[in-house]
Chains A and B, each alone.
Chain A
Amino acid sequence: MQNKTFVAVAVGLGLIGLSACGAGGGTSSADSKTVTLVSHDSWAVSKNVLQDFENKTGYKVHVLKDGDAGQAVNKAILTKDNPQGDVFFGVDNTLLSRALDNGLFQPYQAKGSDLVLPEYRVDQAKHRVTPIDTGDICVNYDKAYFAQHKLTPPQSFADLAEPAYKNLLVTENAATSSPGLGFLLGSAARFGDNGWQDYWKKLKANGVKVVDGWEQAYYQEFSGSSEGKKAGGDRPLVVSYASSPPAEVIYAKKRPSTAPTGVAHGTCFQQTEYAGLLSNAKNTKGGKAFLDFLLTKEFQDDMPLNMYVYPVREGAQVPPEFMKYGPEAKNPETMAPGKIAANRDQWVKSWTSLVLK
């Protein structure tokens, strides 16, 4: 190639590059005035609440969203020697051990840790992570369908395998979807390490349908969501979240007086999300301040309607819409992060050959 051409072309490229310079926020500097939060795509906070933190502390918050929950954690682990930020938010109980075993976080006991409800506390010895929010993965049902067929909606894991509910349930692939995995873990917590396989055999015989992701299950197959209705979804039972019914109401075109969907309270698995100070954070002081902020009443009150989760702090406000349209699950199934870590991959493998093959 000729040098002249190269120069001309390079100049042209430079000009175009300059014109596109508005597209980014530039790089974040690792100065002591900026705190960088690394999180997954669902991170959300009201502008004024974040502004408040910035005004009070003098730190500027820079947010990096790094894919879905699993991806974000894996990337943080890959880059732990030279992390992309100071604080990581969004590792949940199904992935917690992976993060801790890989030395992702350094110890820090956030202010307000003593106000975290006891059932959500973990890692009490080292305080490498701080619980921030919680939610439940539960079966949702289409109220209209069950009213029309004069059928009582299922209430427990065991109910779902009953002949009355044949061909009604759609769930997600446990290998690729977080609610799908949660539902599998919930059944393992309920029926024990060896019992869950029999349970799934029954579910399979009872016509459970498995799709890859939550979007498809909820928007295409489930007859209770407004979009599923349009798409001709014919499954009145879906594995989703306890907070899905309030979302159906809040995001409806015309707000109905009651939620069109309900939650089967005996089918829930508790998911808690944690945040922590990254091991090689450049701005540890700012990172600590930000972790404190995540536990303030202000943030905990603001969080539910942004991320569709429940607060973990004692006395934080749960929005009235949540109470009215989808109260929190009672006694959801839980499982220790260590136990999840020890079994998850093997269980997903057995589940795949059992249910999908």
Chain B
Amino acid sequence: MALPVAFFAVFFAWPVAAIVARGLKADGAWQFGRLADVLTQPDIRHVLWFTTWQALASTALTLLLALPAAYAFARLDFPGKHLLRAVVTVPFVLPTVVAGSAFLALAGHGGLLDQLWGVRLDTTVWAILLAHVFFNYAVVVRTVGGLWSQLDPRQEEAARMLGASALRAWRKVTLPALGPAVAAGALMVFLFTFTSFGVVQILGGPTFSTLEVEIYRQTSEVFDLSTAAVLTLVQFVAVGAILAVHAWTVRRRETALRLVDPKTTARRPRGAGQWALLTGVLVTIALLLVLPLAVLVRRSLDAPGFGYYRALTNADGGTFLVAPVHAVWTSVQYAVAATAIAVVIGGLAAAALARRDAGRLVRGFDALLMLPLGVSAVTVGFGFLIALDKPPLDLRQSWILVPLAQALVGAPFVVRTMLPVLRAVDARLREAAAVLGASPWRVWREVDLPLVRRALLVAAGFAFAVSLGEFGATVFIARPDNPTLPVAVARLLSRPGDLNYGQAMALSTILMVVCAAALLILERLRTDRTGEF
């Protein structure tokens, strides 16, 4: 418990407090009058209102479209399932710059839909909502599907035997067990869409602005740190409130579940209903997730003989002192380090939180861990600059700062993915092992680990993917010329000319492939380890 707390205090609480203080303190006195000044501006109110309602709408839409998929991945066996599970996670890690252009190519003017049916969605709120679904589909599929595949189907079957209808059996048996995972997934989606930045900026045009965009603008463009500080506090309060509600609902519904090997729970689809559902899920994935990605890949192949890919290996000394392709290696290294940090910090925190005797204080920390997801990258990035600038912690130019910032975003994922499973481990198993003379370490190794290994791998995959595609915080950290993939893509996109654009698309394609490969390896790891229960 001490390590995660220290980590968050030093790398999150302190920098953020420092930058907020810089904005709200004048001559050593707090200027809380600024709060009222800022919050009474109609512009700011409009931003708050838009931020909230688009997040609610996006979350509802994502759940609606992704829950059937979570079921299909958990309960049905079909060829190519592992590959597809990796594919649906790819959008989540794409830099928003890339996804934005892919969406514009699809739904903008002259895009695919425009050519086919004259449908144009750019600069409408629909484009924003659909892009949010595109990004967050995997969140629901993985958090809910991960647990669902480990629920024992025999419980539902028993209810059916006792005369419950299929729907009722599902409602009374499966749904309560899934509740915490659905809530966790929904909460994450809400957090992401509430703090959405890139998507809103690219697809919404200048007419739509979220709180996050406004904070960025006030800090980066206008340099009005006090307004930015007020907005940061508002976002803090909002996110804190969401988290508090979530913690309360989850605690009320948690029960010890009987988890089984996921291999035994999935079956080939049977009956018209299941086939129809599977078809529906596949069509949704094809249209909403694969199509934008396909447009992107096609654009990267527009030059004869993989010309854009070949161009990536030239260091032109201009934008890059190293060849853009070098960014792939840099990114992977950062991601490995970030994943390690996130898994350790998140894992330790989850273990502490899952204990039955965890006190109120510890549980409060659960909500704190989630806060980095709700604080804008620009705030954290600028906070790093002014907080971590003195020895022994002058990390401003150290390479470790990038994985640290990424782990800050990754750790909450690890906690959210592992906690439902850890809490669902029946405490009596541990007690039995302890009675039989096992040391606490051994109890953890023999009882907890086999049950949570899968969740651990899912969490690690998530942390890795988040790190690979993380753009916000990375951009705010000064770096010698070692751009990560998303940064390199953004840099290429900001220079005119066909070759640069093509290279950006090629690099994005590489990013997609690297992510999909990493996720696939994790899937493989998982299936090797199953027969150990």
Chain A interfacial positions (CB closer than 8 Å to B): 1-2, 4-6, 9-10, 12-13, 16-17, 19-28, 38, 41-42, 44-47, 62-68, 70-71, 74-75, 77-79, 82, 84, 98, 173, 175-176, 210-216, 218-220, 225-227, 230-234, 240-241, 244, 247-248, 250-253, 305-308, 345, 348, 356
Chain B interfacial positions (CB closer than 8 Å to A): 1-3, 22, 97, 101, 104-105, 108-111, 114-115, 201-202, 205-207, 217, 219-224, 299, 302-303, 307, 315, 317-319, 321, 330, 333-334, 336-337, 340-341, 344, 347-348, 351-352, 382, 385-386, 389-390, 394, 396-400, 402-403, 440-441, 444, 475-476, 478-482, 491, 493-501
Structural contact, A13 and B352, CB atoms closer than 8 A: no
Closest residue to B311 on the A side, CB-wise? A251
Which of B1, B219, B307, B496 meets A244, CB within 8 Å? B496
**Complex Cα–Cα for A252 and B476 (A):** 32
**Complex Cα–Cα for A71 and B386 (A):** 14
Additional 20 contacts, C-beta under 8 A, given A212-B201, A247-B495: A4-B441, A17-B400, A19-B336, A20-B333, A23-B330, A25-B399, A65-B479, A67-B475, A74-B382, A75-B382, A78-B385, A79-B396, A98-B223, A213-B201, A213-B202, A220-B101, A234-B110, A247-B496, A248-B498, A306-B318
Knowing A25-B399, A64-B478, A306-B318, the reply to whether A251 touches B499 (Cβ < 8 A) is yes
Structural contact, A24 and B500, CB atoms closer than 8 A: no
**Complex Cα–Cα for A135 and B387 (A):** 36
Structural contact, A231 and B478, CB atoms closer than 8 A: no
**Complex Cα–Cα for A26 and B336 (A):** 18
Contacts of B444 in A (CB 8 A): 2, 5
**Complex Cα–Cα for A234 and B318 (A):** 31
**Complex Cα–Cα for A307 and B1 (A):** 50
Contacts of B475 in A (CB 8 A): 67
Structural contact, B217 and A20, CB atoms closer than 8 A: no
B-side interface mostly: helix
Structural contact, A175 and B386, CB atoms closer than 8 A: no
Closest residue to B110 on the A side, CB-wise? A232
Contacts of A173 in B (CB 8 A): 206
**Complex Cα–Cα for A41 and B484 (A):** 13
Structural contact, B497 and A251, CB atoms closer than 8 A: yes
**Complex Cα–Cα for A22 and B399 (A):** 9
Which of A1, A2, A6, A252 meets B497, CB within 8 Å? A252
**Complex Cα–Cα for A74 and B390 (A):** 19
Structural contact, A47 and B317, CB atoms closer than 8 A: yes
Structural contact, A62 and B480, CB atoms closer than 8 A: yes
Structural contact, B397 and A64, CB atoms closer than 8 A: yes
Contacts of A215 in B (CB 8 A): 97, 101, 493-494
Structural contact, B205 and A253, CB atoms closer than 8 A: no
Which of A82, A210, A248 meets B496, CB within 8 Å? A248
Structural contact, B337 and A65, CB atoms closer than 8 A: no
**Complex Cα–Cα for A23 and B498 (A):** 30
Which of B201, B390, B480 meets A82, CB within 8 Å? B390
Structural contact, A38 and B318, CB atoms closer than 8 A: no
Contacts of B344 in A (CB 8 A): 9-10, 12-13
28 chain-A/chain-B pairs, Cβ below 8 angstroms: A1-B1, A1-B2, A1-B348, A1-B351, A1-B352, A2-B441, A5-B441, A5-B444, A16-B336, A23-B337, A26-B398, A27-B397, A28-B480, A41-B491, A44-B319, A65-B481, A66-B478, A70-B221, A70-B223, A75-B476, A213-B202, A215-B494, A230-B299, A230-B302, A233-B109, A247-B495, A248-B498, A251-B498
State the Cβ distance, B322 to closest chain A Cβ, in Å.
10
Knowing A2-B441, A4-B441, the reply to whether A24 touches B480 (Cβ < 8 A) is yes
State the Cβ distance, A343 to closest chain B Cβ, in Å.
13
Closest residue to B201 on the A side, CB-wise? A212
Structural contact, B399 and A26, CB atoms closer than 8 A: yes
Contacts of B303 in A (CB 8 A): 253
State the Cβ distance, B84 to closest chain A Cβ, in Å.
29
State the Cβ distance, B197 to closest chain A Cβ, in Å.
11
State the Cβ distance, B366 to closest chain A Cβ, in Å.
15
Structural contact, B317 and A212, CB atoms closer than 8 A: no
Closest residue to A233 on the B side, CB-wise? B110
Structural contact, A44 and B317, CB atoms closer than 8 A: yes
**Complex Cα–Cα for A234 and B122 (A):** 14
Which of A19, A210, A225 meets B206, CB within 8 Å? A210
Structural contact, A71 and B220, CB atoms closer than 8 A: yes
State the Cβ distance, A173 to closest chain B Cβ, in Å.
4
State the Cβ distance, B213 to closest chain A Cβ, in Å.
8
Which of A214, A306, A348 meets B494, CB within 8 Å? A214
**Complex Cα–Cα for A41 and B478 (A):** 10
Knowing A216-B202, A227-B498, A231-B108, the reply to whether A78 touches B382 (Cβ < 8 A) is yes
Contacts of B201 in A (CB 8 A): 176, 212-213
Contacts of B321 in A (CB 8 A): 47, 63
Residue in B205, B333, B480, B499 whose Cβ sees the most chain A Cβ within 10 Å: B480
Which of B2, B105, B340, B403 meets A231, CB within 8 Å? B105
Structural contact, A220 and B348, CB atoms closer than 8 A: no
Structural contact, B403 and A20, CB atoms closer than 8 A: yes
Structural contact, B205 and A210, CB atoms closer than 8 A: yes
The 8 closest A-B pairs by CB, nearest first: A232-B110, A24-B399, A251-B497, A23-B333, A20-B337, A226-B498, A16-B340, A173-B206
Which of A75, A231, A252 meets B110, CB within 8 Å? A231
**Complex Cα–Cα for A65 and B347 (A):** 34
Closest residue to B337 on the A side, CB-wise? A20
Which of B223, B347, B352, B396 meets A74, CB within 8 Å? B223
**Complex Cα–Cα for A98 and B468 (A):** 35
Structural contact, A253 and B221, CB atoms closer than 8 A: no
Structural contact, B501 and A227, CB atoms closer than 8 A: yes
**Complex Cα–Cα for A28 and B104 (A):** 41
Contacts of A253 in B (CB 8 A): 303, 307, 498-499
Contacts of B97 in A (CB 8 A): 215
Closest residue to A241 on the B side, CB-wise? B496
**Complex Cα–Cα for A22 and B219 (A):** 33
Contacts of B105 in A (CB 8 A): 231
Structural contact, A248 and B494, CB atoms closer than 8 A: no
Structural contact, B493 and A231, CB atoms closer than 8 A: no
Contacts of A45 in B (CB 8 A): 317
State the Cβ distance, B63 to closest chain A Cβ, in Å.
29
Structural contact, A232 and B109, CB atoms closer than 8 A: yes
**Complex Cα–Cα for A214 and B111 (A):** 19
**Complex Cα–Cα for A22 and B500 (A):** 28
Closest residue to B333 on the A side, CB-wise? A23
Closest residue to B4 on the A side, CB-wise? A1
Structural contact, B221 and A78, CB atoms closer than 8 A: no
Structural contact, B481 and A79, CB atoms closer than 8 A: no
**Complex Cα–Cα for A255 and B353 (A):** 62
Residue in A25, A210, A244, A305 whose Cβ sees the most chain B Cβ within 10 Å: A25
